[in-house]
């Protein structure tokens, strides 16, 4: 199908570009789907499950687990109060800074 783009006006050209981009996305999705089927078939033929090869929950981007971050600062007045240095500063940390302490004085 040959389209003479020199005879198209601005609106027709934009419409053609949009249709071409949609078709390009459709072709890409089809190709990805076929590749996914091949991979699953290969894994199954070898006697494994998808999770055995790629782990649990590998759909899309892999995320880090929200593990516990060790404390970085400790309240000298109450040693049970600690802060990892992430997120909003605790009140005791701000109060200590206002009282003239420095961050390194509160570090563990």
DSSP sequence for 16-77? HHHHHHHHHHHHHHHHHHHHHHHHHHHHHHTT--HHHHH-TT-SSS-----PPPPP-EE-SS
Question: Which pLDDT tens digits describe the chain residue by residue (108 residues)?
Answer: 688 888 899 999 999 999 999 999 999 999 999 999 999 999 999 999 888 888 876 455 666 667 788 999 998 888 899 999 998 999 999 999 999 999 888 898
pLDDT at residue 45, as a whole number: 95
């Amino acid at each position: 199908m040959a389209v003479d783009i020199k005879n198209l006006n601005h609106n027709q050209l934009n419409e053609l570009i949009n249709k071409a981009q949609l078709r390009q996305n459709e072709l890409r999705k089809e190709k990805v789907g076929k590749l996914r089927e091949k991979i699953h078939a290969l894994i199954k033929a070898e006697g494994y499950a998808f999770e055995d090869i790629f782990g649990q929950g590998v759909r899309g981007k892999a995320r880090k687990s929200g593990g516990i971050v060790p404390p970085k600062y400790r309240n000298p007045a109450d040693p049970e109060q600690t802060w990892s240095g992430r997120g909003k500063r605790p009140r005791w940390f701000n109060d200590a800074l206002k009282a003239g302490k420095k961050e390194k004085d509160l570090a563990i």
